[in-house]
Amino acid sequence: VVAGLTPPGMAANRELRYRVYVLDDPTLNAFAYPDGAIFIHTGLLARLDNEDQLATVLGHEMTHVEHRHMLRHRRAAHNREVGLTVAAVAAAVVLAAVEADELADGHWGRAAAVDLFGDLIVTLGLELAFIAAVNGYGRELEHEADRGGFHKLRAAGYDVREAPRVYEILADDHGEAGATETFFFGSHPRLAERKANAQAEVAQQGTLPADPRTDSPNFAARLAPVIRDEARRNVTLERPALACDGFARYLRLAGEATDAETVRAERAALGCEEGEG
């Protein structure tokens, strides 16, 4: 997908080589380093419906790299180091408080999720976690990355009409968003604004490109196990609505897979309604 989205001039750039990594983490996030390393969490990957939506996420992150957004953001933030330090301390306080609350309420799975996410952002560095998260560059640069991503989508033959759906996915928490994700990845009004921007871009660029690209035949087969595993993790994390949705999506994608009966039994054990998901 990244190769299809890469402009010829960028593909010839020896100083930059895109590399994609999947992080085993339940949070809805993707980010990129200035050297072309792109990271996408299994939590987000498992919520995507098709290759066009995956291309939307990757095209957005690639634009961050090509437009040097991290460097531009750091320069703009040069006089706000104290603010970033305060934000980092606030993040640590939020993580500690949320984990303590979940443990006090007996929600061991949710506390484990907070701990897992805390380990991740500490490894990355708190400041980098703010900069790299899906909403971390600020309104102007995020909008610029969205626009650049849409142009990549259309040039590569992807369906830009799927782009607004990505922001719906980020906002649709099935009522189970944690305080940690909300703190780092933005509020629903911010995502609603980005969805509206995406819809405006779609209106400008028209419908399907002249030579539309179709979903890879292997896409659903490769994505299905990720969806199933994330659904099982959501059971452990005490997020039943997300788990029910994931199991239902897995069964739709995987059809009569060898473990289909096992997954149906797992859904039934959760008490999922028949139409849920």
Tell me the β-bridge partners of 20.
Answer: 38
| Token reading at 138 | 């600020």
- Dist CA 253 CA 219 (whole Å): 10
Which residue, 49, 50, 53, is CA-closest to 215? 50
- pLDDT of res. 80: 47
Grade residue 170 by pLDDT with cuts at 50, 70 and 90. confident
pLDDT in tens, 183-239: 445 555 677 888 888 888 888 766 666 676 766 667 888 889 999 999 999 998 888
Instruction: Work out the mean pLDDT of the chain and round it to a whole number.
Output: 74
Above pLDDT 90, what percent of the chain?
Answer: 18
Q: Which of 10-14, 54-58, 123-127, 236-240 has the highest mean pLDDT?
A: 54-58
Q: Is pLDDT at 167 greater than 90 in this prediction?
A: no
Weakest-pLDDT range from 3-7, 27-31, 123-127: 123-127
Beta carbons within 10 angstroms of residue 144's beta carbon: 18
SS3 track for 230-245: HHHHHHHCCCHHHHHH
Grade residue 177 by pLDDT with cuts at 50, 70 and 90. low
Q: Is pLDDT at 110 greater than 80 in this prediction?
A: no
pLDDT in tens, 49-106: 889 999 999 998 898 888 876 666 665 554 444 444 545 555 555 555 555 565 566 6
Q: Is pLDDT at 165 greater than 50 in this prediction?
A: yes
Query: Strands 30-32 and 37-41, how do they pair?
Result: antiparallel
Q: Is pLDDT at 133 greater than 60 in this prediction?
A: no
- pLDDT of res. 37: 86
- Dist CA 263 CA 249 (whole Å): 11
Weakest-pLDDT range from 75-84, 133-142, 267-276: 75-84
